[in-house]
Structure 1
Amino acid sequence: MTDPTYEFSRAITRRPAASITDGLRAEDIGTPDLGRMLASHAHYVETLKKTGAEVIELAPLESYPDAVFVEDTTLCLPQGAVMMRPGAPSRMGEVAEMEPTIRGVYDEVRQIAGPGHIEGGDILVTGREILVGRSDRTDAAGVTELTEIVSDWGHTVREVFTPPGVLHFKTDCSLLDGETILSTKRLDASGCFEGYRVLHVAEGEEAAANSIRFNQFVLAPAGFPRTTEMLRQNGYDVVEIDNVECAKLDGGMSCLSLRF
């Protein structure tokens, strides 16, 4: 029996466009370097492929600077896919760009119609429920509409709250397996992971919380040695990926792929 929370046969990625320099950012810590981002992205895709998964690589979208962050457009579940409704106006069109690809791989595709907003970066699917973090990009109406859609498929949604100043719920957490969550201490302190096994990122290494478990690997951002060592001591096979350029746009490991 596979574990649908981290065992995947396919992924969708999109190459960064030259317009990435105009991507959204909470604070300006520098302009992304396209060459370095392309190299990091290639390493990321290559790591997904190493697991034996098929990776659908989409062309860059110059008119959508943030389109490399495909995760926000769609929620992929075993029963079907849900097209999201981003909270950032400049990203709304990315969903329509992604939809033909999703319809090519899923028979059942549903849509967040609005008026609410919800982005994939605020959604963590665990072995027992779907956690959705309210944030600047995901509102109560979006959570309610998603809950109605996925309850049809037998899923339970639990609404939680993203810490102030943190863009997405998954900026501060990721799934290591069906029952284990990697989290910052500030997010775990809210009590949202009660009943799970929680591993904390090291103090000062909060950005390492946005990692992904993809089959046998944990893809983690490079440059956070204490967290990487802790994960390895807990038996995880960690592949470090340079995330310096994506981080300038508040992006991380989970943002860069749709996994199913």
Structure 2
Amino acid sequence: MTDPTYQFTRAITRRPGQSVIDGLRAEDIGTPDLGNMLEAHAAYVTALQSTGAKVIELEPLEAFPDALFVEDTALCLPKGAVLMRPGAPSRRGEVAEMKPALRDCFEDLREVTGPGHIEGGDILVTGREILVGRSDRTDAAGVGQLTEIVADWGYAVREVITPPGVLHFKTDCSLLDAETILSTRRLDASGCFEGYRVLHVPEGEEAAANAIRFNDPVIMAAGFPRTAEMLDRAGFRVVEIDNRESAKLDGGMSCLSLRF
């Protein structure tokens, strides 16, 4: 029996463009190097393809420096996809650019129209519900509209709160299987994962919490050996990807693809 929470046949990614150096960032820790970023992005695509999935690679969008972080533009579910409404005004045009690719893949394509806003980085789909974190990029109105849309497909949404200073809900967590979540201690302390099996990233490796389970492997950022060892011990196959350049723009493993 397949598990729709982590078993996928397709993914959409977008290569970074020259304008990526102007991408949004909460804190300036350096300018991304496009060459290194393209190399890491290619490794990421290869990791997805290695599972047998088809990867649709979209061209860079120079008008939108953050467009490589495609996850924020949509939520893809087995019964359809929902176009988001990003909280960062400079990113709202990315949604229209993603729409044709999703229309090719989904018969039922719906849209969050506002006035609220919501980004895919705040949405975690588990085996029993859709968790949506309120953050600086996702507000109550956006959560409310998404709740109405996905209820039609039989999904329940639960709103949770993202810790202060954390960009997206999934900055601090990821799904390992239908009932297992990788999380920072600060996020789990809120009680939002009660009833789930939670694995905590080791202290000092909080940035490793944003990973993706994509078919068999867990794809995570390289450079966090204790987290990788913990996941290996827990029975997961780990693939590590250099995320140093994307991290300068607050990006992680989940941000770089739409998976369905």
Q: TM class, shorter-chain normalised? A: over 0.9
Aligned-partner Cα distance in 1 for 2:47–2:18: 23
Q: Which residue of 2 aligns with 1:15?
A: 15
2:17 is aligned with what amino acid?
A
Structure-to-structure mapping, 1:85-100, within 5 angstroms: 85-100=85-100
Structure 1 gap ranges (5+) = none
Q: Which residue of 2 aligns with 1:156?
A: 156
**Number of residue equivalences:** 260
Report whether the alignment pairs 1:240 with 2:240. yes
2:215 is aligned with what amino acid?
N
Q: Which runs of 4+ in 1 moved over 4 A?
A: none
Q: Which residue of 2 aligns with 1:186?
A: 186
Give deviations 1:87-114, integer Å, cap 9, x for gaps. Answer: 0000000000000000000000000010
Q: Could you tell me how far 1:117 is from its partner in structure 2?
A: 0.1
Aligned-partner Cα distance in 2 for 1:169–1:162: 5
What percentage of aligned pairs have identical amino acids?
78
Report whether the alignment pairs 1:43 with 2:43. yes
1:3 is aligned with what amino acid?
D
1:128 is aligned with what amino acid?
R
Aligned-partner Cα distance in 1 for 2:107–2:9: 16
Q: Which residue of 2 aligns with 1:167?
A: 167
Aligned-partner Cα distance in 2 for 1:113–1:34: 33
Q: Aligned to 1:131, what secondary structure does the other structure show?
A: strand
Q: Which residue of 2 aligns with 1:146?
A: 146
Aligned-partner Cα distance in 2 for 1:68–1:40: 12
Q: Which residue of 1 aligns with 2:213?
A: 213
TM-score by length of 1: 1.00
Q: Which residue of 2 aligns with 1:108?
A: 108
Q: Aligned to 2:7, what secondary structure does the other structure show?
A: coil
Structure 2 gap ranges (5+) = none
Aligned-partner Cα distance in 1 for 2:99–2:45: 21
Aligned-partner Cα distance in 1 for 2:223–2:211: 13
Aligned-partner Cα distance in 1 for 2:35–2:236: 30
Q: Which residue of 2 aligns with 1:256?
A: 256
Give deviations 1:203-223, integer Å, cap 9, x for gaps. Answer: 000000000000011000000
2:247 is aligned with what amino acid?
A
1:146 is aligned with what amino acid?
L
Aligned-partner Cα distance in 2 for 1:6–1:258: 12
Q: Aligned to 2:75, what secondary structure does the other structure show?
A: strand
1:121 is aligned with what amino acid?
G
Q: Which residue of 1 aligns with 2:53?
A: 53
Q: Which residue of 2 aligns with 1:78?
A: 78
Give deviations 1:6-48, integer Å, cap 9, x for gaps. Answer: 0000000000011000000000000000000000000000000
Aligned-partner Cα distance in 2 for 1:63–1:209: 30
Q: Which residue of 2 aligns with 1:224?
A: 224
Aligned-partner Cα distance in 1 for 2:246–2:163: 21
Q: Could you tell me how far 1:73 is from its partner in structure 2?
A: 0.1
Give deviations 1:59-84, integer Å, cap 9, x for gaps. Answer: 00000000000000000000100000
TM-score by length of 2: 1.00
Aligned-partner Cα distance in 2 for 1:4–1:116: 28
Aligned-partner Cα distance in 1 for 2:226–2:153: 39
1:47 is aligned with what amino acid?
A
Q: Could you tell me how far 1:246 is from its partner in structure 2?
A: 0.3
